[in-house]
């Protein structure tokens, strides 16, 4: 899941909204650690 979010963040194809969503997914997974 984190890898997918990282790919989205690094890709310029996606809109800002999707990048924000991916960012929130990354931050949530980091909190679980």
Q: In a structure prediction context, what are the per-residue pLDDT tens digits for the chain, which is 33 residues long?
A: 678 877 766 766 667 877 788 889 888 887 876
By the 10 Å C-beta count (0-12 exposed, 13-18 middle, 19+ buried), 5 is classed as buried
The interaxial angle of helices 16-32 and 2-10, nearest 10 deg, is 150
Domain span holding position 17: 1-32
pLDDT on residue 9: 67
Structural domains of the chain, count: 1
Q: What is the DSSP letter of 11?
A: -
Q: What is the DSSP letter of 14?
A: S
pLDDT on residue 13: 67
Least Cα distance to 3 among 29, 31, 33, 32 occurs for 29
pLDDT on residue 14: 63
pLDDT on residue 30: 79
pLDDT on residue 7: 77
């Amino acid at each position: 899941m984190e890898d997918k979010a990282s790919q989205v963040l690094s890709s310029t194809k996606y809109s800002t909204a999707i990048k924000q969503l991916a960012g929130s997914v990354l931050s949530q997974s980091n909190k679980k650690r």
